[in-house]
Amino acid sequence: MNRVILSAIFVSCLLLASCTKKQPPPNPVIPVNLMKVKAQRVLYYDKYPSTTAALSQVALLPQIQGAVTAIYFVEGSHVNKGQKLYEIDKSIYQANYDAAIANLRVQEGNMVQAQQDADRYEYLNKYNAVAKQLYDHAIITLQNAKNQVRSSQEAVKSAKTSLNYAVVYAPFGGSIGFSQVKLGNVVTPGSTVLNTISTDDPMAVDFLINEKQLPLFERMQNNRQHAPDSLFTILMPDNTLYPFTGRIAVIDRAVDSQTGSIRIRLVFDNPKNYLRVGMSCVVRVHNQDTEPQLVLPSKAVVEQMGEYFVFVAKDSVINNPGAHSDSASKPKLVAQQKKVMPGQTIGPNVIIKSGISAGDRVVTDGVQSLHNGSQITTANKVAPSQGGKRN
């Protein structure tokens, strides 16, 4: 009987213990490092992907047909305006020119004879010593002879032009590429490309901006005399800084309605031919905003679903029923999540455009363990870490 009673009491105790609700453990206090935000002047550059381009570029095409008989330049070199580049077989065109000259001489002789006949008949006509018809025919013959001379002169000009086209000259100074034809190749007018020549000093650099930035670039174009010397610089493909600065040459006439972008063209001196057509580089535009900016370490900014947040330390009263009465209402530090708008990245730091104010205490280390309302402490220093994710 006693065993039954004891068993019942034991089972009852087990049931009572299982039905008793366990108290959740208190939230842990997370150690963090804080930084007091200060407004400061910063120097940075807005960066834009860009491509180098020639201010002038032309494909050299022959104006006459024939075989290439001479090439006078070194491929890939710099050529001067008017320099001889190619020569096309001109034997036929020389013969045509010589024939045109000879025909012109014949026509000039005919005109001299017609002029003499016309003068004689005009004299006789004054005294009615010749038939009127013969006089009229002499005047007409003279006029035809003059027209023949003019026609022959034009034929000489045409033959001379074709003969001149047998030699191809550089239309302007610049860099010339690989020859597309070799000695002996027969070229055809208007279809055979001989080579391509492009200006190389100065050199253009093109990049795209958003249409919202257009007023800023228009102001920079109109106020060149007040711009800093380093307003426009470029980073070369190997990330080295190009030694010359640029200036705005052209702002395109229209915005692309599909992308909302517009093309800007800068011009850079290129005396050492460092820049080549088609290079990919980065344009740096010196920021001219002299107002103080709020700057934070990039690791303090957390990205979530395309939005950016920081944690700000706030004093708050934490209610802890299990604590003594004197510590239950003591102010504690809690992490408050705030949405921010980041701006330009400057090395390990980032400019914050909005969302926080000067004087706020922002968590810089330990953000990976926080959520909105987490209790934090600065009593234990946290080793510097990446803390968050920035794109």
Q: What is the CATH number of the domain that holds 61?
A: 2.40.50.100
Q: For the segment 82-120, what is each residue's pLDDT rounded down to a tens digit?
A: 999 999 999 999 999 999 999 999 999 999 999 998 899
Question: Do residues 249 and 218 share a domain?
Answer: yes
* Order of all β-strands in the sheet with 66-71: 167-169, 84-88, 66-71, 186-187
Same domain, 184 and 238: no
Q: The domain that contains 361 carries what CATH number?
A: 2.40.420.20
33-37, 173-177, 210-214, 370-374: least confident range: 370-374
As given in the structure block, the two tokens for residue 47 are 């960066």
Q: Specify if 386 maps to a domain.
A: no
Mean pLDDT of the chain: 85
Instruction: Examine the domain organization and report whether 61 and 51 are in the same domain.
Output: no
Residues 70 and 177 in one domain: yes
Greatest Cα pair distance in the chain = 179
Which of 175, 201, 169, 164 has its CA nearest to residue 74?
A: 175
Q: Is 10 contained in some domain?
A: no
Per-residue pLDDT, 390: 41
The residues near 298 (Cβ < 8 Å, ≥ 6 apart) are 345, 348, 349, 350, 388, 390
Last residue of a domain, one of 237, 252, 286: 286
Residue 2 lies inside a defined structural domain of this protein: no
Whether residue 250 is found in the same domain as residue 152: no
Please check whether residues 278 and 296 belong to one and the same domain: no
Using alpha carbons only, give the angle 263, 264, 269 rounded to the nearest 5 degrees.
140
- pLDDT class of 365 with cuts at 50, 70, 90: confident
Q: Are residues 360 and 311 in the same domain?
A: yes
**Which of 263, 286, 309 lies at the terminal end of a domain, its last residue?**
286
Number of domains in the chain: 4
- Domain CATH number, residue 274: 2.40.30.170
pLDDT at 319 over 60: no
- 178 shares a domain with 238: no
Nearest-CA neighbor of 310 among 323, 318, 298? 298
Does some domain include residue 75? yes
175 and 190 in a common domain: yes
Cβ contacts of 385 within 8 Å, gap of 6 or more: 299, 365, 366, 368
Residue 84 belongs to domain spanning: 57-90+167-198
Concatenated DSSP letters of 90-115: -HHHHHHHHHHHHHHHHHHHHHHHHH
146 occurs within a structural domain: yes
- Position 313 in a domain: yes
Token code pair at residue 70: 């001479």
**Three-state DSSP state, 172:** coil
Q: Does residue 148 lie within any of the structural domains?
A: yes
pLDDT tens, position by position, 251-282: 999 999 999 999 999 999 999 989 999 999 99
Q: Does 247 lie in the same domain as 191? A: no
Model confidence pLDDT, tens digit, residues 233-244: 999 999 999 999
Query: Quick one: which H or E segment has residue 116?
Result: helix 91-126
- CA–CA separation, 25 vs 237, rounded Å? 57
**Are 84 and 176 members of one domain?**
yes
The pLDDT value recorded for residue 198 is: 95
User: 226 lies in a domain?
Assistant: yes
**pLDDT on residue 382:** 64
Question: What is the pLDDT at residue 383?
Answer: 62
Residues 6+ apart with CB under 8 A from 169: 82, 83, 84, 85
236 and 314 belong to one structural domain: no
- Model confidence over 185-219: pLDDT tens digits? 999 998 899 999 999 999 999 999 999 989 989 98
